Amino acid sequence: MTYKTLLLEKQNGITIIKMNTPHNLNAISQQSVEDLFAVLQVIKNDDNCRVVILTGEGKGFIGGADIKHMACLDAIEGGQFCFAVSKCTLEMEKMGKVFIAAVNGFALGAGLEVALGCDIRIFSKHAKIGFPETGLGVIPGAGGAQRLQRLVGIGKASEIIFTGDIIGADDALRFGIANQVTEPESLMDTAMSMAEKILTKSPVGTRLAKEALQKGRDTDLEKALEYDKNLFGLCFSTEDKKEGMAAFIEKRKPVFK
């Protein structure tokens, strides 16, 4: 299938989504959010895909939402557009795949919201992030405020959102938004290396670990521990558990299927 605003590449269990409207820093438009949601449905049903790397062409990861488009929307249309972006990030979080954001440039507004919807974020040293929405008379409405405060705490999230300041890669790493910062020319190699490392681990273990992280984040500790216990027990019914522990005892690398 061909998409108007993004490119799709598959290789050995890894899918690369590249946002591809560099003329506007890959800004989120109605078309691009529809394309992204459509490609996520394809990935969700692809059993051969275990890790997804999301990046952008040119100087932008996703430079934000298309302001010219948003300026013409009324209250209902604005809410619908915001919800369309939210549907994409929720799909990424709920899906049993690991999502790595390779943030190569600007990730502002909706672009940062998409990056925050990924499990892991690797930044180029040239990456710039922020939530400029309050300067536009709106708010980060596609989950940015909720996910950011869970990463950095409500105080730092308030500062970032209220000021609209642009944050560099080193500060993003210091705040816990970025997992790693690399040289621009090494960004995709670093993301691929991490993806390949994840592929050597148990598919079942990785999927259930992501489920535990996502479910536990939004519940109290006692319920989260109960959830972990049930998922842990479920692992013991799988071939991955048998192979992983047998390989450990036999001092060899596991071969997961």
Taking the CA of residue 231 as centre, how many other CA atoms within 13 Å lie in the half-sphere pointing to its CB? 19
Looking at the structure, do residues 102 and 182 belong to the same domain, yes or no? yes
CATH number assigned to the domain comprising residue 207: 1.10.12.10
CATH of the domain at 69: 3.90.226.10
Model pLDDT for residues 181-220, shown as the tens digit of each residue: 999 999 999 999 999 999 999 999 999 999 999 989 888 9
In a domain, 75, yes or no: yes
Q: Is residue 162 part of a domain?
A: yes
Which long-range contacts link 238-245 to residues 24+ away (Cβ below 8 Å)? 238/204, 240/202, 240/203, 240/204, 240/205, 241/202, 241/204, 241/205, 243/202, 244/202, 244/205
| Same-domain status, 140 and 220 | no
Q: Which string of b and e fits 101-138 if b means at least 16 CB within 10 Å?
A: bbbbbbbbbbbbbbbbbbbbbbbbebbbbbbbbeeeee
Number of domains in the chain: 2
**What are residue 77's phi and psi, to 5 degrees?**
-65, -40
**Which residues have a Cβ under 8 Å from the Cβ of 175 and sit 6 or more positions away?**
151, 152, 156, 167
| Residue 118 shares a structural domain with residue 20 | yes
Tokens of 105: 């440039």
Residue 257, in any domain of the structure: no
Q: Do residue 85 and residue 140 come from a single domain?
A: yes
Asked whether residue 221 falls in the same domain as residue 166, the answer is no
**What domain range is 209 assigned to?**
203-249
Q: Is there a single domain that holds both residue 84 and residue 11?
A: yes
Judgement on whether residues 177 and 218 belong to the same structural domain of the protein? no
Q: Which of 9, 91, 133, 239 is catalytic?
A: 133
Residue 254 lies in a domain: no
Number of other residues whose CB lies within 10 A of the CB of residue 243: 15
Asked whether residue 195 falls in the same domain as residue 91, the answer is: yes
- Give the per-residue pLDDT at 76: 93
User: Of the residues 77, 91, 113, 196, which is catalytic?
Assistant: 113
22 and 78 in a common domain? yes
**Domain for residue 256, yes or no?**
no
Residue 1 domain flag: no
Mark whether 88 and 161 lie in a shared domain: yes
Same domain, 155 and 58: yes
Where the chain has pLDDT below 50, the residues are none
Beta bridge pairs of residue 65: 28
Is 133 annotated in the active site?
yes
Q: What is the pLDDT of residue 217?
A: 87
Cβ-in-10-Å burial (0-12, 13-18, 19+) of 239 comes to exposed
* pTM of the shown model: 0.94
Q: Are strands 60-62 and 51-56 parallel, antiparallel or unpaired?
A: unpaired
pLDDT at 218: 82
